[in-house]
Amino acid sequence: MAQEDIFKKIVSHCKEYGFVFPSSDIYDGLGAVYDYGQNGVELKNNIKQYWWQSMVLLHDNIVGIDSAIFMHPTVWKASGHVDAFNDPLIDNRDSKKRYRADVLIEDHIAKLEEKIEKEVAKGRKRFKDAFDEQQFLATNSRVAEIKDKINAVHSRFAKAMAESDFEELRQIILDEEIVCPISGTRNWTEVRQFNLMFKTEVGSTADGATSIYLRPETAQGIFVNYLNVQKTGRMKLPFGIAQIGKAFRNEIVARQFIFRMREFEQMEMQFFVKPGTEMQFFDFWKQTRMAWHQALGFGSENYRFHDHEKLAHYANAATDIEFHLPFGYKEIEGIHSRTDFDLSQHAKFSGKKIEYFDPEENKSYTPYVIETSIGVDRMFLSVICHSYEEEKLDSGETRTVLHLPAALAPIKLAVLPLVKKDGLPEKAREILQQLKFHFNCKYDEKDTIGKRYRRMDAIGTPYCITIDHDTLKDNTVTLRDRDTMEQHRVDINQLIDIIEDKVSLTTLLKKL
Ligand code: GAP
């Protein structure tokens, strides 16, 4: 099945099984805004817990905060967002549709990359077992031609973006004969800048309302609290401040489901270090964050670093952790060495001294910062996409299963009486009563046991127990494993120990 079709299926699965709904669904939705349903919120909370505990619990020099979404408007002047948080937009005159010029070019490059994949597939078909992909990629003339084209477009594009050269962006679109996906024409307007921050007002207009912004990142809430936390927590460098919270961006090209949203959630950690030590900590956080992702067991081949060649003016190193989604390798997390830019800017704009007194050096200086910044929703999407499988069974049937890491699964255990009579529901509820204090359980007595297993597979429940007539005699139940579908009898008194070890976040955290 084409990756595009799989992605469509995942999106409808998310809706059908209570993971993600379009916002204001009964009003036909609101572009790029989504609600998390009864299963989605549990999965999302578990992802957040996994991140939070890996930061705040496992590092004694990292603390958390929860800053407000509304901030003083000068924060965004100081951070550079008022002047530079822009997207280059271009309109197609025929379809009247608006696009991000950079995304049009990136999509064009992705199409060229797909052409290479098609050549590889053709080569594999032709040479069968003798096919050597590395050799083919290095020697095939058609592949070489496409690679040259990609490199040429990419270097023009990177230069135009770095220099904010909008005429050149438009020229690339024209030269590459990129057409509007709706009208199919090349009738493009000029490229214009568009600020991504949402503006609103606080206070009544009569009193003189102040324009403020909905924060486009959570990081600034950390920077403006650096002094508060350092002093009240008596923190010594190096130390970190972590935060999870909503961020808002007026994304123009909103697509790919929850990959690019207008209201989303970030998990950010700013790590304050002594100037000159930042590269050592940048490398440390690159490895630490990659280990966090890979502990989920999705296969190291599905991740890669994408080091930034062109850096923002305040950064001296930056990389993305990309994950293989059905629409290609995409950024899930950014790790940035931001120098002393943010703290210095806030010192300048607020007039406050924002420094650290180093007792060993007996002097004050502005700390440098390494930032790790991951989108909760993108992480959620990567977990769902990797876990989704339409599995062909020996019986010829197909079952849809989410192989979620057990610690992230919304429901850990389903408690299922085999039939709705003979005292089995009562016994099942008695067991549920004991287990529900230990992990998230669901009781289900409707439909055949087979249908109930499938429902649980579809939401990624790692274990099901079935209460049958033997349970009443020998106090045992059938424990079914989601992935292997194997079943074995277990004493009810052993259930907590067996399951807790497999589904607990602690087990996952211990892999780090
Ligand atoms: N403080 C740095 C910062 O915000 P960013 O690369 O703009 O950096 C960090 O964003 C992460 O936030 C991204 O890697 C992505 O996971 C997530 N993110 C950014 N924009 C998003 C959007 N429109 N929808 C969903 N997630 C987004």
pLDDT, tens digit (0-9, with 9 covering 90-100), for 414-435: 999 999 999 999 999 999 999 9
Provide the terminal-to-terminal Cα distance of the chain, rounded to the nearest Å.
35
Q: What is the pLDDT of residues 458-482, one digit of tens each?
A: 999 999 999 999 999 999 999 999 9
The minimum-distance atom of ligand 1 relative to the CA of 249 is: 23
Ligand 1: centre distance to CA 330 (Å): 12
Give yes or no for residue 408 having a pLDDT over 90: yes
When pLDDT is cut at 50, 70 and 90, the band that residue 208 belongs to is: low
The amino acid occupying position 357 is F
Compute φ and ψ for 154, nearest 5 degrees. -65, -45
Nearest-atom index, ligand 1, CA of 261: 24
Nearest CA to ligand 1 atom 22: 260
Ligand 1 center–CA 405 separation, angstroms: 24
pLDDT of residue 63: 98
Distance CA 13, CA 97 (A): 29
- Per-residue pLDDT for 404 more than 80? yes
pLDDT for 210: 86
Q: Is 249 in the pocket of ligand 1 (CB under 6 A)?
A: yes
CA of 10 to the centre of ligand 1 (A): 22
Whether 265 is in the pocket of ligand 1, judged by its Cβ within 6 Å, is no
Strand partners, 129: none
Q: Is 121 helix (H, G, I), strand (E, B) or coil?
A: helix
Is 482's C-beta closer than 6 angstroms to any atom of ligand 1? no
Report the alpha-carbon distance of residue 202 to residue 204 in Å, rounded: 7
Task: Note the pLDDT of residue 207.
Answer: 65
Query: Which of 446, 424, 442 is closest to 432 using CA atoms?
Result: 442
Q: How confident is the model at residue 310 (pLDDT cuts 50, 70, 90)?
A: confident
Nearest atom within ligand 1 for CA of residue 266 = 12
With a 6 A CB cut-off, is 382 part of the ligand 1 pocket?
no
Concatenate the DSSP letters of all residues of 178-228 into one string.
---TTT----B---EEEE---EEEES-STT--EEEEB-S-SHHHHHTTHHH
The answer to whether residues 366 and 272 touch, using CB atoms and an 8 Å cutoff, is no
Q: And the tokens for 136?
A: 């083919």
| Region of poorest pLDDT, from 68-82, 243-257, 286-300 | 243-257
Residue 4: per-residue pLDDT: 82
The answer to whether 261 and 251 have CB atoms below 8 angstroms apart is: yes
Cα–Cα nearest to 16, from 447, 393, 327, 400: 400
Identify whether the C-beta of residue 269 lies closer than 8 Å to the C-beta of residue 239.
no
For ligand 1, atom 12, which residue shows the shortest CA distance?
Answer: 375
pLDDT of res. 205: 64
Higher pLDDT, 181 or 163: 181
Contact 259, 325 (CB under 8 A): yes
Burial class (CB within 10 angstroms; exposed 0-12, middle 13-18, buried 19+) of 316: middle
Taking each helix axis as running N to C, give the angle between helix 166-175 and helix 101-127, from 0 to 180 degrees, rounded to the nearest 10. 40
Q: Is 268 near ligand 1, meaning CB less than 6 Å away?
A: yes
Q: What percent of the chain has pLDDT over 90?
A: 89
**457 CB within 6 A, ligand 1:** no
- H or E segment and range at residue 259: none
Phi, psi of 267 (to 5 degrees): -120, 110
Distance, CA of 332 to CA of 373 (rounded, Å)? 9
Mutate to test the pocket of ligand 1, among 224, 314, 378 (most ligand atoms within 8 A of CB): 378
Ligand 1 pocket residue status of 293, Cβ below 6 Å: no
Please determine, for residue 221, whether its predicted confidence score (pLDDT) is greater than 90. Answer: yes
Confidence band for 162, pLDDT divided at 50, 70 and 90 = confident
Q: Are 112 and 150 in contact (CB under 8 A)?
A: yes
Q: Is residue 204 predicted with pLDDT exceeding 90?
A: no
Residue with tokens 């994950």: 323
Mean pLDDT of 105-133: 91
375 C-alpha to ligand 1 centroid (Å): 6
Ligand 1 and 332: CB distance under 6 A? yes
Q: Which residue has the higher pLDDT, 319 or 103?
A: 319
